[in-house]
Structure 1
């Protein structure tokens, strides 16, 4: 009934129509040694296959289920476990126990059930309602109406258990009670259930995590269909996931070890970015913005020029609009002389109106429909002509895009904003044989990998400023939370989405200060700017002006104060960022990350620690007052926000417009 339920999708996930539930019904051990345990398994309908339990790291176990006779298709693994991890296997008549460095798993053989012993996490198998109807998806498969198989597994949950991660979630970091589909989407705002960034990494407050190695539309039912259990569903040719034991920070470190470290952005990227916005622009306008910024002494390290650096209708051609920007090289030299780095917008689509469309179509450089034609469709919500999606598995298409990125960067551009990337249809066919149901979630990684590769070659760093991502996308450095509205509600959901991303192994995120759509009123702009300037990365951007001096003298004075505070904190922020890369922990630390055993920490989902010692509690409503939970210890307020506070404690605080929503851990050194 809700209007959002019928909102159009750019590329919806594949429909799954179940026909037959077929759980595992029997198992026989075929090997058990330091490399793990292998079992021959049989399903209720008689299908046969192999279940493998293998040590991955000293606190993680790889669980793989593959049934015999399932067709193989091109797929990509995004998880790389160490090759030298072993385990100890203890065996009795009806049970095996696998022991790793800090993890032990019992394998009960009849009925087949796994148990993570440290936190008493037990696999849910035969769970039914009073009518004897199954209410979980036990380890096994479901045959769909089209004959395909979907793999699944379920585990019991505790009543006070909290679930985090799975990418950017605007509904809030704690996902208990929700059903979450991991499918990168044009979220069309920031207050719904769709997300630009999906990561099939689930983090529990009970001391474990799960990482699924797939690029398909993995789904997590988190005590939604059955309040006593959670389930994962994977429409892939095999089930391949990692069960990780440890505190939330230990689990995030293991995610880093399995998928690679985050990229540390260059030092200048942590300063303020200022954009001319998503609206017509010119060299004269950019020069005037730069002149005004330096004249006023407003801190700014990066000037961003959005889509209109290119000709209208030819966006993503990666060619300057010669009328609006007659001398790009001269402009870039002038801006560099004033101390600015320059960011430009791009995306991986090509308009049907582009002069390069015919060549790319002729060369087979676009994703194809099942009939073999180039796929074209709406990726701009009807505001612009149809576009095609570059097939980045095609060497020719990838080389073409590399060449255009290289030429732009070589002229003096520092970084590219890699927008979009969510439009691969499920039935698309790629050059390498991969179909859209597997390529869709992978595509943002291919796009950002390509741009990062050329950026590293030309500019000496691999930073991209991306919108969509999947497992391992932390290697690209920066993500922003998409196209929010200029409203208090969107500010709050943007904050929660960022903290959700922090729980998902992606430490460096940002957002459009003031919101993207609409024009914020001055108080909202100030509070969003204070939040943005105390975020991991910070950028002013929108469809109308986000230039701080356009919102009145009082607002400008408050934002200037926050920007200068950011500048003063940069050494601390950069040190903390380097620690985040080293440890896998986020730069913006949700309260529940460090205090998973404190109920108040789970409720305090509109605040965070920036690094280890700065407590940030953005204002998410007008009036200058809000509730803040102070973690254990003494907290010293920023100027104008009251006296010291001893935690753990909730306090209703007043924060004047000109004061930052910030507290310092007593005894810490941040300057």
Structure 2
């Protein structure tokens, strides 16, 4: 491909003509640190000329459509090549005419570009176009993001296809060296991350047009810009922050309730019961109203009242389908309200699965606004009747040859469907509130999934590798801007013989320093399965969990503003410290705490403390310089956790459940890690730090205990606290 000529330039955009086509190649200064490159028919570039369906698709992917940056364009000097230079602040994009290729700079420093001979190419893919962009990689370039992975957080050498559900892909790719790439499409994307040609990253896009965003900055800046562009999470509220209890496969409601009562009477803190297995409610056979699974309860209100005795919230599974062989299936098939086979014109029948209880079903066509509205409104009734949140996995393997009412089919339909399902449920359970506070539990991954704060973690084994699997998945999802992964302590569906007291407590201590987690409601995986000493350790760690809730929710509130996740890998948190990158099971828990969990038996673990900061051991109060490797030894009542110098940790008083939190006194203590420099992460934070003449002045600490680091003294002056060094 090559550009034939320059067309025009505005303050935010510049257009070129693509040779021998009617396509326009456009570059936008989309935001500071962000360029957008698009190629397609001129009409597709203007939002006011899009069809309503195309506009809806665009809004599924982007919350900010129009560019807000400013650029200038000039021709390259002859010795620099045949092309144009586009500048936005210190970000420079050189576009070469033939072949169409680009190089990205920050100031004078090269950041990213296309391979010399490749650039951008377009091919006829049979039913559409395929665009290939070949990016050049440095020898040691680390590639991060792109969704879930069981292996290294460095995705170099992998091949990932976006609409293959088993590959668990997300669309943001970035490198610690300071660049990010987001492909803005609902079509299929194939990423060849140096597997075919070691120093090339080939991105192949199946779509009518080419649309890609380039980011420049450190990973935190890239996640900030990416989520500002594609959407950020809403607030989860307070109740989801308490510990959960998951129903076991095949377990009756009566058995689940009995175990919940035993936990409560034993003094173990938890706030939520999650029903699992078959959908708790589904459409009646002959009318569009939900009825409950009679194996569980007569209705939502009666089930909610059963669990009111243990003072918990209820989360229930649902699914967007209607059973075959029913009057409603036939009626909605006639209306065109179900996904239809192209060949037969009949509703596609999906085989029975866990959610449907083994019964075959048709999927609601959620691209039809009437169907979407009906399903969301019926779900809202479940909220009104006492269900706190729904759980729904809707990333179905929809075959090619099925077309939705809006014309979506193939890879586009496979991507769009779980997006619509999650959004409809969010509308029902949270969207009607101001602010939009609430959660929808799901394991589905799709573009813009980070708009929904709560993500289900993977199914794991009851062994040390299961702990590591859950942790690595959380860090991988965090690298793709997903704010919270919900962990499970073990797996009720797997053998439990390897779940020793040591593993149980080490796993629990790690999950205390995460977004949240759940117990499994089988006797062998509950605290009561272990001896009194182990149960006392569980109580110890649960007290820590509930005291950390104001800090944890404060991190999530920060994610709403910045896009940074709760659990942050060393690659994400310390891109400029290569020595940190290999420590891939330790992580930052928010901005203040570094956690090095035990991932194998024994009381010793090595910890790397990254350069650039001092680190304070929460267990001993000792300070260590950054760039240090420690081997530490702890009993089951402690975990290697280090506070980052200049930060502080806000803890609440212990409460056995979130319903007993005192909204007027959410905080109890503040731990200082050296001289405070940063305002802390804390729920509904009103604490502000200001530095002046070698001291820190803090407002918002009225009535709180302050635990200073060694060598600091605290003086209170009315509503202000002064932190200074001891003389």
Normalised to the residue count of structure 2, the TM-score between the two structures is 0.79
Cross-structure match for 2:527? 548
SS of residue paired to 1:464: coil
Whether 1:98 aligns to 2:70 is no
Task: Output the CA distance in 2 between the equivalents of 1:34 and 1:634.
Answer: 45
Q: CA deviation at 1:584?
A: 1.6
Task: Output the CA distance in 1 between the equivalents of 2:387 and 2:256.
Answer: 14
**Matched-pair contact (CA < 8 Å) for 1:299–1:563:** yes
Cross-structure match for 2:392? 418
Pick aligned residue for 1:409 from 383, 393, 397? 383
Cross-structure match for 1:495? 471
Q: What are the within-5 Å matches in structure 2 for residues 344-423 of structure 1? A: 344-352=316-324, 356-371=328-343, 372-378=345-351, 380=353, 384-423=358-397
Q: CA deviation at 1:650?
A: 2.6
Query: How has the CA–CA distance of structure 1 residues 351 and 184 changed in structure 2, closer, same or farther, with 3 Å as cutoff?
Result: farther
**Matched-pair contact (CA < 8 Å) for 1:484–1:517:** no
Task: Output the CA distance in 2 between the equivalents of 1:228 and 1:386.
Answer: 48
SS of residue paired to 1:622: coil
Query: How has the CA–CA distance of structure 1 residues 82 and 66 changed in structure 2, closer, same or farther, with 3 Å as cutoff?
Result: closer
Q: What are the within-5 Å matches in structure 2 for residues 600-615 of structure 1? A: 600-615=579-594
Query: How has the CA–CA distance of structure 1 residues 388 and 148 changed in structure 2, closer, same or farther, with 3 Å as cutoff?
Result: same
**Matched-pair contact (CA < 8 Å) for 1:154–1:229:** yes
Q: What are the within-5 Å matches in structure 2 for residues 449-468 of structure 1? A: 449-456=423-430, 461-468=437-444
CA offset digits 1:339-373 (Å, max 9, x no partner) = 32211112334443777544443433221122222
Pick aligned residue for 2:140 from 157, 160, 179? 160
Task: Output the CA distance in 1 between the equivalents of 2:492 and 2:263.
Answer: 21
Cross-structure match for 1:88? 72
Task: Output the CA distance in 2 between the equivalents of 1:181 and 1:269.
Answer: 33
Cross-structure match for 2:101? 113
Q: For structure 1, which segment, 60-69 or 423-432, has the greater mean C-alpha deviation from structure 2 after superposition?
A: 60-69
Task: Output the CA distance in 1 between the equivalents of 2:487 and 2:647.
Answer: 28
How many correspondences in the alignment? Answer: 623
Q: What are the within-5 Å matches in structure 2 for residues 68-467 of structure 1? A: 76-77=57-58, 78-79=61-62, 80-92=64-76, 94-118=82-106, 119-127=109-117, 138-144=119-125, 146=126, 148-183=128-163, 185=165, 187=166, 194-195=167-168, 198-282=169-253, 284-307=254-277, 310=280, 318-326=290-298, 328-333=300-305, 335-336=307-308, 338-352=310-324, 356-371=328-343, 372-378=345-351, 380=353, 384-456=358-430, 461-467=437-443
CA offset digits 1:239-294 (Å, max 9, x no partner) = 10111111111111101210122212102212211112232322x33432332222
**Matched-pair contact (CA < 8 Å) for 1:183–1:441:** yes
Pick aligned residue for 1:481 from 438, 453, 457? 457
Q: What are the within-5 Å matches in structure 2 for residues 579-598 of structure 1? A: 579-598=558-577
Normalised to the residue count of structure 1, the TM-score between the two structures is 0.85
The structure with the larger Rg is 2
CA offset digits 1:502-522 (Å, max 9, x no partner) = 111211212222136403313
**Matched-pair contact (CA < 8 Å) for 2:490–2:525:** yes
Q: CA deviation at 1:482?
A: 3.0
**Matched-pair contact (CA < 8 Å) for 1:630–1:650:** yes
Task: Output the CA distance in 2 between the equivalents of 1:469 and 1:542.
Answer: 26
Q: Which has the higher contact order (CA 8 A, sep 6+)?
A: 1
Task: Output the CA distance in 2 between the equivalents of 1:486 and 1:383.
Answer: 26
Q: What are the within-5 Å matches in structure 2 for residues 510-525 of structure 1? A: 510-515=486-491, 517-520=493-496, 521-522=499-500, 523-525=502-504
Gap regions ≥5 residues in structure 2: 45-49, 652-727
Task: Output the CA distance in 2 between the equivalents of 1:326 and 1:648.
Answer: 60
CA offset digits 1:14-39 (Å, max 9, x no partner) = xxxxxxxxxx1443212234232211
CA offset digits 1:430-453 (Å, max 9, x no partner) = 011111321211221111100010
Q: CA deviation at 1:50?
A: 2.1
Q: For structure 1, which segment, 341-350 or 609-618, has the greater mean C-alpha deviation from structure 2 after superposition?
A: 341-350
Query: How has the CA–CA distance of structure 1 residues 383 and 141 changed in structure 2, closer, same or farther, with 3 Å as cutoff?
Result: farther
Cα RMSD, aligned residues only: 3.1
Cross-structure match for 1:130? none
Task: Output the CA distance in 2 between the equivalents of 1:517 and 1:507.
Answer: 27
Cross-structure match for 2:724? none
**Matched-pair contact (CA < 8 Å) for 1:317–1:354:** no
Query: How has the CA–CA distance of structure 1 residues 379 and 471 changed in structure 2, closer, same or farther, with 3 Å as cutoff?
Result: farther
CA offset digits 1:131-190 (Å, max 9, x no partner) = xxxxxx63011333x3532112112111222111112222232111212222251x4xxx
CA offset digits 1:628-647 (Å, max 9, x no partner) = 222233434454x9965433
Query: How has the CA–CA distance of structure 1 residues 313 and 618 changed in structure 2, closer, same or farther, with 3 Å as cutoff?
Result: farther
Task: Output the CA distance in 1 between the equivalents of 2:156 and 2:564.
Answer: 22
SS of residue paired to 1:388: strand
Query: How has the CA–CA distance of structure 1 residues 311 and 206 changed in structure 2, closer, same or farther, with 3 Å as cutoff?
Result: closer
Cross-structure match for 2:515? 536
